[in-house]
Structure 1
Amino acid sequence: MTSVNTIDILRVLPEAVLSGFAVLVMVLDPFLPPRQKGLLAWLSLAGVIAAEAALFESSLSPGPAFNGAVSADPFSFYFIFLFLLVAALTVLGSTDYLKRDGINRGEFYALVLMATVGACFMAASTELIMVFIGLEISSISTYILAGFRRHDARSNEASLKYFLLGSFATAFFLYGIAFVYGVTGTTKLVALSQQGLQIVDGAQGTGGPHQVLSVYHPVGDPGLMWVAMILMFVGLAFKVSTVPFQIWTPDVYQGAPAPVTAFLSVGPKAAAFAAVLRIFLGGFGLRRMDFSVVWIASAVLTMSLGNLAALRQSNAKRLLAYSAIAHAGYVLVGISAAAVGGVGEGTSAVLFYLLAYSLMNLGAFVLIAHLAGAGERRSEVEDYVGLAYKKPAVAACLTVFLLSLGGLPTTAGFLAKFYVFRAAVHSHLILLTVIAVLNGVVSVYYYLRLVVVMYMREGETNVSTAVVPWPLRAALAVSVVGIFYLGLFPNAFLSLANLAASPLPYLNRP
């Protein structure tokens, strides 16, 4: 019994370590004088590094934990690494912002760490209730973070809107879980996949290589399972900002503190996509072909609306908010490919895309946070006029992020889109691929618009020209180097993405 408990704890060690540091940051915060609050950033960063070490230790003993509620496997290892990277870059990119705007740093860092813990559980969970718990841990933390500028009406509005709509979407997800349990008698994804043929189609198992389990209900109502899948889709679609559940995204991204927006646009979104892969291509894998029409329609609507709306934006944060919606559509192209064709190729393309997107989008947002100045009063596109002449290095970094988001060659964004589109072509989704490519061309216009303003427009720049602090420099350096490394030498991380997708047995069922 003791050895089992030890193994269970070892397999969730990264989450445990990160939770411990989050609590430690909150406990120390009231006792530190204002001039020493900056130490909490380094303590939080130490927690992320310790969690990375714990992740390595956990990877040496893969397997299920806590009676199959979570799984320490390559899929979860990949996502936990991604979430820890996002947390580290968020901490580094926010230190100057928090000090400049007088925001309580201890609570901020603790909430970022706890939101990361929730994201890790969402990726590692192989049981629907655990997915819900991870979703709630992450969501509650981000609701508070969105309103962290307490005296700013826009931030308060963003937090309230995010909380109300997020709670509503979470209720849909929980209601879907209730339907699944009512039909099948289980909330474990592996069990759902094993009896999926009987649950979805009402067919009796006949033995053979794909014999279904008869421990639970052998026959289920296909209509009720469709209701369950739709309800859960709605709950997760809100988190990833797919059309028509994206209405909160522009207002929340614009109103929330810029470092929070950076974190929201990559961390919780990647966690929700991890849950989508676990649930819809895993637990409901035997019905993935039937549900593919939902993914395809969502992909087309999401990337098209996101890109067309971004063309009209004059605020940099709002422009990137619609850009984030469009990128969710590109990820859905990969999920559509996985649903229709080979799960392995589509899934690995999605994993690689999420890593590349995290680097370029987070880098862009933390840089915009620095340039906006105190109170984020200078975040309009026109404020960037002539930035290249005042701050050439800063303008160059922002250009790299924007060009990568647009998918230009030699950047991570180019190969990320290429692998997703290739997976769609191999799944014979030619029309979807054409629509995605056209959307990619449209997106280049509004990314280049900001580049043109920085380099080719004369005038006095209105954005902050303050010296970039070295923690932010470190975050920018990691992001820029990562973008070019993934764009020029993708094989190592592409192999990791393939490894993360391949060993999940219930993902590979026909």
Structure 2
Amino acid sequence: MDYLGDIQAFLPGVITAVAGMVVIVVESLKKESQLTFWITALSLFAALIFSFQALGTDLDTAFSGMLVHGGAAAFGSMVILVGALFCVFISDDYLRGIDHYYGEIYALLLFATAGMLTLAGANDLITVFIGLETMSICLYVMAGLIKDQKTGAESALKYFLLGAFSTGFLLYGTALLYGATGTTSIPGIGAAASTELLFLAGVGLLLVGFFFKVSAVPFHMWTPDVYQGTPTTLTAYMATASKAATFIALVLILSRALPEGEGTQWQNVITIIAILTMIFGNIIAMVQDNVKRILAYSSIAHAGYALVGLAAGTAVGYNAVLYYLFAYTIMNVGAFGVIAYYERNKGLDFTEIQNLSGLGYKQPVMAVVMSIFLFSLAGIPPLVGFVGKYYVFAAAIQSDLIVLAVIGVLASAASVYYYLRIMVYLYFREAPKPVELFSPTLMYKGTLVILAILTLYYGIEPLLPTNALMDILDSYSNYQTAMSSLIP
């Protein structure tokens, strides 16, 4: 067996896992050292470089077929690492500012990222479980970081209980699929797919487990409370990297374990879940007064938009989901990053929307980048959020899911209300009393500015950041053809 080749194939995951162990050792020797931050950032950057290099390769297997690398898996790894790296850049200053800085957080983040990379490259349901649990256990701890507040303890407990509940569904579905097909290999399940009750029940329970993890309605109950109680920059990590990893695993399962003839049976199920998720997420977000809860329900709605691409059940739809995850990651990390900046200021609870009144003129750069992220989340051109929504809705129309696409467009239009409501408070409401905001560090402000530039750039020029695809991504119109190479 070519162990060296297997390790090389999964090098981004190996780098993050080893770096996590190094961070633990460093933190045990020197508490709260700045060195843990730099080890984390540099290891994630190195892993990202290797993921970029793998983008031009075909999808292939490693570790006796338990993992895949290259193609869609490499793209998914890139999205996960981009989200993790930007979250690390804004977490150091924020966690120190709220007096909840612990060096162990970086170890947990690295181990969670290793689990996400495993999940995104899973080629076997056992690997899916290992990656999912490695990720989830670390996130449970991170959710309870602010343990001296009721919301922190509540978010950790609720996340743990419902997360364990969803894992039970996933494991039971895996067991039924093994009983129906005699294998846990994803391609093997696809080869033995049938319409027998045991197989259908297994796929159904497997999907329920995934719907919990991506916070799709009606399996979303944990999301608002967990997002509100978790430190904001870590909330950004949960909302982007973990959701991207789960969706990528779902794409690989649907595209490989459910052939087109069998996959069409699940199109109606995913369509209904997508409709409920888009409508419910947007409606409840409209009546929230806490900005973190607004973004939490917004993330539920965005899961619905991604499910639209999955409902299409075609290579074009799956590719649209991959691009949407990239778009969602950069704009959502940025939005949570700005909220984290305001939250760091003492005196008022700046996660409450009314306390943002008049702050748009106090730190103009932060308010401007927040406006860019909010416009993008609403799907307003020429920003990357519009491009992402365009491709998932276009994929639905191409698969004759016209009603689904129309509902998605209307739900997206409704979301403009609560995104612009935040901007109204920033710019058009007077502050009830004078507020002084601190100046963010250069790294913090620079990270948010870079995210805003990426949000604008990939809306105007919607190209994937990879040299391997630059030659064929010549224009806006041929994007879907180019993205087809990401899925085998």
| Both structures adopt the same fold (TM-score exceeding 0.5) | yes
> Equivalent residue for 1:7?
5
The Cα of 1:8 is off from its aligned counterpart by 1.0
In 1, the alpha carbon distance for the partners of 2:401 and 2:83 equals 32
Q: Which residue of 1 aligns with 2:297?
A: 322
Aligned counterpart for 2:222 among listed residues 248, 251, 254:
248
State the partner residue of 1:52: 48
Return the offset for 1:114.
1.1
Q: How does 1:399-478 map to 2 (within 5 A)?
A: 399-460=371-432, 465-478=437-450
Residue 147 in 1 paired to residue 144 in 2? yes
Paired residues of 1:386 and 1:455 also in contact (CA < 8 A): yes
Higher mean Cα deviation, 495-504 or 369-378?
495-504
SS at match of 2:103: helix
Q: Which residue, out of 34, 38, 49, partners 1:38?
A: 34
Distance 2:438 2:277 in 1: 37
CA contact (8 A) 1:386 1:457 kept: yes
Does the 8 A contact of 2:66 with 2:122 survive in 1?
yes
In structure 2, the residue corresponding to 1:491 is in which secondary structure?
A: coil
Inter-CA distance 49–490: structure 2 relative to 1 (3 Å threshold):
same
What displacement does 1:303 show?
Answer: 0.5
Q: Report if the CA contact (8 A) 1:344-1:502 is conserved.
A: no
CA contact (8 A) 1:306 1:326 kept: yes
| Structure 2 CA distance for aligned equivalents of residues 436 and 61 of structure 1 | 34
Q: 1-side partners of 2:130 and 2:385: how far apart? A: 32
Aligned partner (choices 254, 259, 270) of residue 233 of structure 2: 259
Q: Where in structure 2 are there 5+ consecutive unaligned residues?
A: 474-478
* Displacement after TM superposition at 1:55 (Å): 3.0
Match in the other structure for 1:116? 113
- Segment drifting more, 365-374 vs 327-336: 365-374
Question: How do residues 388-403 of structure 1 correspond to structure 2 at under 5 angstroms?
Answer: 388-403=360-375
Q: Distance in 2 between matches of 1:485 and 1:53?
A: 21
Q: How does 1:85-104 map to 2 (within 5 A)?
A: 85-104=82-101
RMSD: 1.9
Q: 1:392 to 1:460 in 2, by over 3 A?
A: farther
Corresponding residue SS for 2:302? helix
Deviation at 1:57, TM superposition (A): 5.7
Match of 1:192 in 2: 189
Alignment of 1:318-397 (within 5 A): 318-337=293-312, 339=313, 343-373=314-344, 377-397=349-369
Structure 1 stretch displaced more, 475-484 or 101-110? 101-110
2:54 and 2:70 in contact (8 A); partners too: no
Q: Which has the larger radius of gyration?
A: 1
For residues 401 and 169 of structure 1, the distance between their equivalents in structure 2, rounded to whole angstroms, comes to 31
CA contact (8 A) 1:344 1:498 kept: no
**Structure 1 residue 38: deviation in Å?**
2.3
Residues of 2 paired with 1:475 and 1:497: CA distance? Answer: 30
Q: Could you say what secondary structure the match of 1:102 adopts?
A: coil
Structure 2 distance, partners of 1:235, 1:294, is: 14
| Paired residues of 1:384 and 1:462 also in contact (CA < 8 A) | no
Within 2, Cα distance between the matches of 1:136 and 1:500?
30
SS at match of 1:64: strand
Structure 1 residue aligned with 2:129: 132
Letter in 2 for 1:173: L
Query: Aligned pair in 2 of structure 1 residues 47, 330: CA closer, same or farther (>3 Å)?
Result: same
Residues 106 and 484 of structure 1: CA distance in aligned 2, closer, same or farther (over 3 Å): same
1:105 match: secondary structure: coil
* Residue 485 of structure 2 corresponds to residue 502 of structure 1: yes
Q: Distance in 1 between matches of 2:407 and 2:480?
A: 25
- Structure 1 residue 58, shift from structure 2 partner: 5.3
Distance in 1 of aligned mates of 2:358 and 2:459: 28
Partner of 1:487: 459
CA 1:321–1:372 in structure 2 vs 1: closer, same or farther (change >3 Å)? same
- Deviation, structure 1 residue 30: 2.2
Amino acid at match of 1:308: I
Provide the C-alpha distance between the structure 1 equivalents of 2:75 and 2:55, rounded to a whole number of angstroms. Answer: 10
2:36–2:106 contact (8 Å) kept in structure 1: yes
Aligned equivalents of 2:339, 2:274: Cα separation in 1? 28
Q: In structure 1, what is the Cα distance between the partners aligned to 2:244 and 2:435?
A: 30
Contact 2:277-2:300 within 8 A present in 1 as well: yes
Determine if contact 1:368/1:379 at 8 Å carries over to the other structure. yes
- Cα displacement (A) at 1:171: 0.8
Report what 2:201 is aligned to: 227
SS in 2 for 1:71: strand
Residue in 1 that maps onto 2:210: 236
Q: 1:319: Cα distance to partner?
A: 0.5
In 1: Cα distance, 2:272 partner to 2:42 partner: 43
Give 2:476's aligned residue.
Answer: none
Deviates more, 1:376-385 or 1:135-144: 376-385
> Alignment identity in percent?
39
Query: How many Å apart are 1:101 and its aligned residue?
Result: 2.2
The amino acid across from 2:11 in the alignment is L
Determine whether 1:28 maps to 2:26.
Answer: yes
In the TM superposition, what whole-angstrom CA distance separates every residue of 1:191-243 from its partner, at most 9, and x where no partner exists? 222232xxx14xxxxxxxxxxxxxxxxxxxx1111110111111110111100
Q: 1:246 to 1:461 in 2, by over 3 A?
A: farther
Is the Cα–Cα contact under 8 Å of residues 353 and 420 in structure 1 kept in the other structure? yes
Counterpart Cα distance in 1 of 2:357 and 2:451: 24
Give the AA of the match of 2:363: K
Match of 1:218? none
SS at match of 2:217: coil
Write the letter of the residue equivalent to 1:263. Answer: Y
Rounded to whole Å, the distance in 2 between the matches of 1:179 and 1:462 is 61
Partners of 2:15 and 2:480 lie apart in 1 by 25
**Contact kept in structure 1, 2:359 and 2:431, CA below 8 Å:** no
**2:71, 2:304 → 1: CA distance?**
25
Whole-Å separation in 1 of the counterparts to 2:396 and 2:433: 43
